[in-house]
Chain A
């Protein structure tokens, strides 16, 4: 069935820098996806409830506060609690040190995109790694 990919773009935690999230939202829009943009300062619970209600394929989390080690795994855990982790691809983006990435992946974040990543790379990754068929 031909349908648009639905992506939730969210900013977990306490940082007010949403330029990156907006750039990625715009790029995904131009790639034909439906982007649900949820704005700043959300808790993992809020993000997961929004993802559930919006029936999204992807949760893309932008974070520049340094709290990624805590917040990103928390989103994954809550998605599992709600029983939707098997359907939802979780991505991270922002200023995240190389050294932290393996740990995040182990926690269930599929990929991390750091500053300077061409948006096309993210788009291709999403298209090739969806957990449920279109």
Chain B
């Protein structure tokens, strides 16, 4: 618990250690987050997503610097993919943020996805809470480079910034379901390249079809030259005001909390099931019956639920 106290005081080393502990499923870290949860909810959480190489890290660097000028404290969580083969990863987002290393008001952490497929890591939500407790005013979450369907960032952020670049495809790409639906604010980075205006038009057209009270603004930027960053933060601020004034912020946070409860319960159930050898062997035995068609998997799963989770009396098994 001493770690929790240090975290509350803004100690970076405590934050670094706690994020590792959360990543490694350490029960002590869970207890600390549980005890200090009332200190969360103060930070503004912004998700930054988009295809690989769109310039997300560079934009995060520039956004963080602008926020620092306004004296806000900024936490950054940068997620990169873990190899499904070796379990290793190269986390390279810091390359674009090295000027921020020495800023006392900035904390940057790189995270490997470690098997998670939605563009974040399993521990990202925990890490957000840690940065929140340590007193960050803004938390920028940079997702892995996404394709078409990695949308977990909506569950973690108050606003989602979609970073696009010119020349990735025609207007049909912009019409497709998936990541294009989750942007609250759009930016076309590398806007000094050919086709930036056309990309903007195509995104605007796509957005014309969507309904709702919020029309995502689309701006252009050349992050590497620090161009378009102020307009972008203005747009993010507009979204934030809209969320607060319309009551959508609390609605979104309720939705996100609901998803988190379901997620945590699901993993607890799975852990209870698979965390003990007797259960694993039992499932293996039952699987043999299913394989030779002696039993069916539907009724077996009901049986497993009763045996391993619910217990005879209807209560949860220890």
Given A38-B95, A53-B109, A84-B13, A31 and B88 touching (CB < 8 A)? yes
Stretch at the interface among A44-52, A67-75, A102-110, A112-120: A44-52
Residue total for A at the interface (Cβ-Cβ under 8 A) = 31
B91 touches A34 (CB 8 A): yes
User: Of B24, B98, B109, which one neighbours A42 at CB under 8 angstroms?
Assistant: B98
The answer for the CA separation of A3 and B12 in the assembled complex, in Å, is 21
Interface residues of A in 1-56 (CB under 8 A from B): 1-4, 6, 25-26, 28-39, 42, 45-46, 49-50, 52-55
* Residues of chain B from 1 to 43 with CB closer than 8 A to chain A in the complex: 12-13, 15-17, 19-20, 23-26
Q: Is the interface of B mostly helix, strand, loop or mixed?
A: mixed
Instruction: Return the chain A residue nearest B75 by Cβ.
Output: A53
What B residues does A33 contact at CB under 8 A?
88
> Do B107 and A53 have beta carbons less than 8 Å apart?
yes
Contact partners of A39 in chain B: CB under 8 A: 92, 94-96, 98
Residue of A nearest to B83 (CB): A29
B102 and A4 contact, CB distance less than 8 A: no
**Cβ-defined contact, A31 with B94, below 8 A:** no
Report the bound CA distance from A26 to B114 in whole Å: 17
Tell me the bound Cα distance from A82 to B17 in angstroms: 14
Task: State the CA gap A31–B37 with chains docked (Å).
Answer: 36
Contact A29/B94 with A1-B24, A3-B23, A3-B24 known, Cβ cut-off 8 Å: no
Nearest A residue (CB) for B23: A3
| Cβ contacts under 8 Å, A84 to chain B | 13
Query: Once the chains bind, are A53 and B12 in contact (CB under 8 Å)?
Result: yes
Residues in A whose Cβ lies below 8 Å from that of B26 = 1
Inter-chain contact A49/B89, CB cutoff 8 Å? no
Q: State the Cβ distance, B110 to closest chain A Cβ, in Å.
A: 5
Interface centre among A28, A32, A34, A84 (most CB of B within 10 A): A34
Chain B residues lying within 8 Å of A49, measured Cβ to Cβ, are 101-102
Closest to A37 in B: B92
Task: Give CA–CA (A29, B88) in the complex, Å.
Answer: 4
In this assembly, does B168 line the interface, its C-beta being within 8 Å of a C-beta of chain A? Answer: no
Tell me whether A38 and B94 are in contact (CB under 8 A): yes
B44 to chain A, nearest CB (A): 20
Q: Contacts A52-B16, A53-B109, A84-B13 hold; do A29 and B89 have CB atoms under 8 A apart? A: yes
| Chain B neighbourhood of A34, CB < 8 A | 82, 88-89, 91, 110, 112
- Chain B min CB distance to A100 (Å): 27
Kindly state whether residue B290 has any CB partner on chain A within 8 Å.
no
Which of B16, B86, B95, B112 sits near A30, CB closer than 8 Å?
Answer: B86
Asked if B268 lies at the interface with its beta carbon under 8 angstroms from chain A, I say no
Known: A45-B102, A54-B110. A37 touches B91 (CB 8 A): yes
Complex contacts, B98 vs chain A, CB 8 Å? 38-39, 42, 46, 50
Contact B16 A54 (CB under 8 A): yes
Is there contact, CB below 8 Å, between B94 and A36? yes
